[in-house]
A and B are shown apart, each in its own frame.
Chain A
Amino acid sequence: MYKLSACCSMACGISLHPKMVLASLRIRKQGNGHRTNVPRNVNLEKLQNNYLFPEISKRELQHMDKYPNAKVISLGIGDTTEPIPEKISLSMANYARALSTADGYRGYGAEQGNQALRKAIAETFYKDVVIKDTEVFVSDGSQCDISRLQLLLGSKVTIAVQDPSFPAYIDSSVIIGQAGDFQDKTGKYQNIEYMPCGPKNNFFPDLATTPRTDIIFFCSPNNPTGHAATRKQLQQLVEFARDNGSIIIFDSAYAAYITDDSPKSIFEIPGAKEVAIEISSFSKFAGFTGVRLGWTVVPEELLFSSGFPVINDFNRIVCTCFNGASNIAQAGGLACLSSEGFQAIRSVIDYYKENANILVDTFASLGLNVYGGVNAPYVWVHFPGSKSWSIFSEILEKTHIITVPGSGFGPGGAEYIRISAFGQRDRIIEASWRLEKLFSKEKNPF
């Protein structure tokens, strides 16, 4: 596993189920060394554990240490595995080489992104909904954009998230000071509104019982559940936001995986431009997880309560706290959106979608409750009455497969496991086979 997070070599002091101190303590609280007189940021103290995905990495490494000969299959972190289509990587190589020439050298780019790329994004993804290139801000990825949006919004806003949800929404909220204290009893942060999304409500929150918050994070197709909200559901969401004067932050990073006619952008919903920001990414779209490229759309129509345009402040953040995505990555992005590049990318996406099909079929044939995997590269498997970290550990121990325990995404994920569909076909097939063996021989495994 190439990804060695330094997180692994540092004191973790995590409190995950089961409660263990997985300590490889190269750093410990120093008794004798000089301490500054700078107080630690209380918001960071509120964070309960390490960020979810480095924790998964750590577990993987520990497992590999324990079983050095095991063929570990990673269906955990949603990391793309297939090579980037040649047309795209060649354009990046050419751009890089051109930086050695007088004509091709470029220094600082516009912080908002290369103009041609902004236009291409607007035309490729937002043509029918009339988003302008000037409303598109190119970035180094959604995880970074989420935090920049939190910087924009500040500590005094309230947020709602789906439960379960991508952990960066909650963690960034805690870090910026919006979230209040963690409550052990409920597994929730005090000031965050958790909107349960499960099979019972078709993975869409019951908005009638959801209190107003300033901001609503909404991811569709969803990570981790794989559910793509229907047009009707999104209409309700936009109406809800409008009635409450809230802002939706719509994460559409997996839109390219949609199979049916679920909306690919929040802006397909009339009125959304006045209530929503959309974030997206080239990571899962083009295999750019390491290259780093994404974008955020902030419509001009989106106004704070004073009437001040949100886009002005986001632009200020982008100009002050950021300095643009790498120009080489942006050249790659532009190539992705050429018709040839786009075609090539579609093939890779289809490849992952076929992986997802295989995994869905596997779990379905075992009689397990399986969700997602149709409009997203994630399969969400329900193990009623169980603890997800226990299942995670059992699967890892018995099949050497890394998954992600659902509780890492919030209390609503407690009984679920997320299986990601990124991987080489033969490994997906091998993983399916191992999972079949595990679950069919144990009638009531958990």
Chain B
Amino acid sequence: MPLMSDLSTSMISSSSSAFLAPISFNSRAQTVSVPVKSINIVKCVATPQEQQTAYKTNVSRNANIAKLQAGYLFPEVARRRAAHLLKYPNAQVISLGIGDTTEPIPEVITSAMAKRSRALSTLEGYSGYGAEQGEKALRAALASTFYRKLGIEDDDIFVSDGAKCDISRLQVVFGSNVSMAVQDPSYPAYVDSSVIMGQTGQFQKDVEKYANIEYMRCTPENGFFPDLSTVARTDIIFFCSPNNPTGAAATREQLIRLVQFAKDNGSIIVYDSAYALYMLDDNPRSIFEIPGAKEVAIETSSFSKYAGFTGVRLGWTVVPKQLLFSDGFPVAKDFNRIVCTCFNGASNIAQAGGLACLSPEGLEAMQEVIGFYKENTNIIVDTFNSLGFKVYGGKNAPYVWVHFPGQNSWDVFSEILEKTHIVTTPGSGFGPGGEGFIRVSAFGHRENVLEACRRFKQLYN
């Protein structure tokens, strides 16, 4: 079958396949819709005869996308969840997998969005295209809320529809001829976008890594901070703190070292601070707290986990004026060009919500919701601790990183799902360094989190 040659074995366990995911899958819904022509199923299903003679264009498939091993991680987890629900339609499935917020958005924020929506029906309140970089008031509010005294100015800030989208836009800025380093484990969008962009070589199954990406191992042994003396120079370094999935938060001393490393190597750090407000300890919340960072770093962040904006879609990226390519050309200028050409601004209604988030009342309300999820995290951490597991994270981030030494993480995922109807995320989905770990996310209604912990205790006692 000609299609088989396009499919490669996935790094997930053999009981599922890279392209089993139906193309129309509505990953958040409980129903699975399967396309009429299931020609992309790896399991032994004969290709319908018609496919052999179906018209094909003469356009070659993008070889970079062909390098990707499986579907993006979270739709895959969602697919497993849906399949499980089909199998056990009466099961009370609890989702601690995808880091999806569950608590309602505070009213001060939604009423601002409702107001903006209604205003769009009036002559005075109607607005068309907004500035691609974001509304001025919001950019100013972001600067003063998160970067006060750090020398970041309003126009260093670019409002977006979320960090995931910004990551890809940054990759478009950088192009295919740069090398990158990621923490291992790390949020999969960094690696996947790098592959799509053509920065990497082929996936190497024996080590479960893409050629040409520098994977910086982060483990309990090294305090989840890479040994920079063993890290090869790359152009770009993706660094997430507080970390998804490990929950580790880099200390000031560590970040000073990271900035120095970047400076010595002439590299650019892309610093993902989407979970900064979950920080409990006195660690830096922004890379720009480190002197010299403005010349070596970009920071990306999001309203998703602060304000429950996972569906509303709002985030931002900071590109300091001082950040220059090797020829002296400002990176911000190229980022601006991409933002103007490949994007057209975040939704004006979402931006109105963002502005309300950063009002004093909004900030207070957000802190309350964050506090709620942090309490969830505590409950989960306590549970796994009491069961004798080695537990990491959960203090500065809404993720708990549980060690299952010597075990295949997809197998642990499946066992947990099968026996407790709880969805988690297998650590290997975040890179080979995640093998042997399970990520438990702390977003959920309190009663679900408590129930989940009861079931964990039952399973592991």
Interface residues of A (CB under 8 A from B): 2-7, 9-11, 26-27, 29-31, 33-44, 47, 50-51, 53-54, 77, 79-86, 88-90, 92-94, 96-97, 99-102, 104-112, 115, 132-135, 140-141, 143-144, 146-147, 151-157, 168, 171-172, 175-177, 214-215, 241-242, 244-247, 274-275, 287, 289-292, 300-309, 311-313, 315-317, 319-329, 332, 422
Q: Are A36 and B324 in contact (CB under 8 A)?
A: yes
A211–chain B nearest beta-carbon distance, Å: 13
CA distance A187 to B165 in the complex (A): 32
Given A109-B28, A320-B192, residue A140 in contact with residue B235 (CB < 8 A):
no
A93 touches B114 (CB 8 A): yes
Residues in B with CB closer than 8 Å to A109 are: 28, 311
Question: Is the CB–CB distance between B104 and A36 below 8 Å?
Answer: no
B107-118 vs A, Cβ < 8 Å mask (1 yes, 0 no):
101110111011
At the interface with chain A, which of B142-150, B212-220, B244-252, B335-343?
A: B335-343
On whether the beta carbons of B347 and A5 are closer than 8 Å, the reply is no
List which B102-148 residues lie within 8 A (CB) of chain A: 102-107, 109-111, 113-115, 117-123, 125-133, 136
* Cβ A96 vs Cβ B198 within 8 A: no
Q: Which residues of B contact A246 (CB under 8 A)?
A: 57-59
Known: A2-B127, A100-B106, A154-B64. A54 touches B349 (CB 8 A): no
| Interface check B96, CB cutoff 8 A | no
Find the B residue at minimum CB distance from A242: B55
Say if the beta carbon of B313 comes within 8 Å of chain A: yes
Q: Which listed residue (A80, A143, A151) contacts B168, Cβ 8 A? A: A151
- Point out the residues of chain B lying under 8 angstroms from A322, CB to CB: 164-165, 168
Residues of chain A within 8 A (CB-CB) of B132 are 5, 54
Q: B44 in the interface, Cβ–Cβ < 8 Å?
A: no
Q: Which residues of A contact B226 (CB under 8 A)?
A: none
Find out whether the CB atom of B23 lies under 8 angstroms from the CB atom of A311: yes
CA distance A258 to B31 in the complex (A): 38
* Segment of B65-73, B200-208, B278-286, B395-403 engaged in the interface with chain A: B65-73
> Considering the chains assembled together, what is the distance between the CA atoms of A44 and B336 in angstroms?
11
List A contacts of B265 (CB < 8 A).
Answer: 37
Q: B101–A107 contact, CB under 8 A?
A: yes
Q: Assess whether A329 is in contact with B175, with CB atoms less than 8 Å apart.
A: no
Contact of A38 among B119, B131, B266 (CB under 8 A): B266
Q: Give the residues in chain B near A33, CB-CB below 8 Å.
A: 295, 322, 324
A-B contact list, 22 entries, CB within 8 Å: A34-B324, A39-B235, A40-B327, A41-B178, A44-B334, A47-B337, A51-B337, A83-B120, A83-B122, A83-B123, A104-B104, A110-B27, A143-B343, A151-B197, A153-B59, A175-B341, A214-B58, A214-B60, A287-B120, A291-B347, A300-B37, A312-B40
Q: Is the CB of B168 within 8 A of A320?
A: yes
Q: Beta-carbon contacts of B432-444 to A below 8 Å, as 1s and 0s?
A: 0000000000010
Known: A275-B57, A287-B120. 9 other contacts (CB 8 A): A2-B130, A4-B136, A35-B266, A50-B337, A82-B126, A290-B348, A292-B346, A319-B75, A328-B350
Q: Judging by beta carbons under 8 Å apart, are B344 and A141 in contact?
A: yes
Structural contact, B113 and A177, CB atoms closer than 8 A: no
Q: How far is the CB of A257 from chain B (nearest CB, A)?
A: 17
Q: Which residue of B lies closest to A298 (CB)?
A: B23
B contact residues vs A (CB 8 Å cutoff): 2-3, 5-6, 19, 23-29, 33, 35-37, 39-40, 51, 54-65, 68, 71-72, 74-75, 98, 100-107, 109-111, 113-115, 117-123, 125-133, 136, 155, 161-162, 164-165, 167-168, 172-178, 189, 192-193, 196-198, 235-236, 262-263, 265-268, 292, 295-296, 308, 310-313, 321-330, 332-334, 336-338, 340-350, 353, 443
Partner of B62, one of A2, A153, A327: A153
B315 to chain A, nearest CB (A): 9
- Contact yes or no, B117 A92, CB < 8 A: yes
CB neighbours (8 Å) of A326 from chain B are 161, 311-313, 346-347, 349-350
Residues of A with C-beta under 8 A to B35:
134, 300
Q: When the two chains form their complex, are residues A323 and B313 in contact, meaning their CB atoms are under 8 A apart?
A: yes
Q: Is the CB of B102 within 8 A of A110?
A: no
CA of A382 to CA of B236 in the docked complex: distance in angstroms?
48
Cβ of B102: which chain A residues have Cβ within 8 Å of it? 105, 107
Q: Is the CB of A247 within 8 A of B349?
A: no
Q: Are B55 and A154 in contact, CB atoms less than 8 angstroms apart?
A: no
A176 to B, closest residue via Cβ: B172
Q: Contact at B2–A154, with CB atoms within 8 Å? A: no
Contact partner, B59, options A88, A115, A214, A320, Cβ 8 Å? A214
Which residues in A have their C-beta under 8 angstroms from that of B118? 89-90, 93
Chain B residues, Cβ within 8 Å of A244: 58
Contact B126 A111 (CB under 8 A): no
Also in contact, A152 and B193, with CB within 8 A (given A80-B128, A93-B114, A328-B312)? no
B304 to chain A, nearest CB (A): 8
Bound CA–CA A304/B62 (angstroms): 9
Residue in B closest to A86 when the chains form the complex, CB atoms: B121
Q: Which residue of B lies closest to A141 (CB)?
A: B344
Give complex CA distance A290, B131 in Å: 9
CB pair A143–B101 under 8 Å, yes or no, is: no
Expressed in whole angstroms, the minimum distance between the Cβ of A292 and any Cβ of chain B is 4
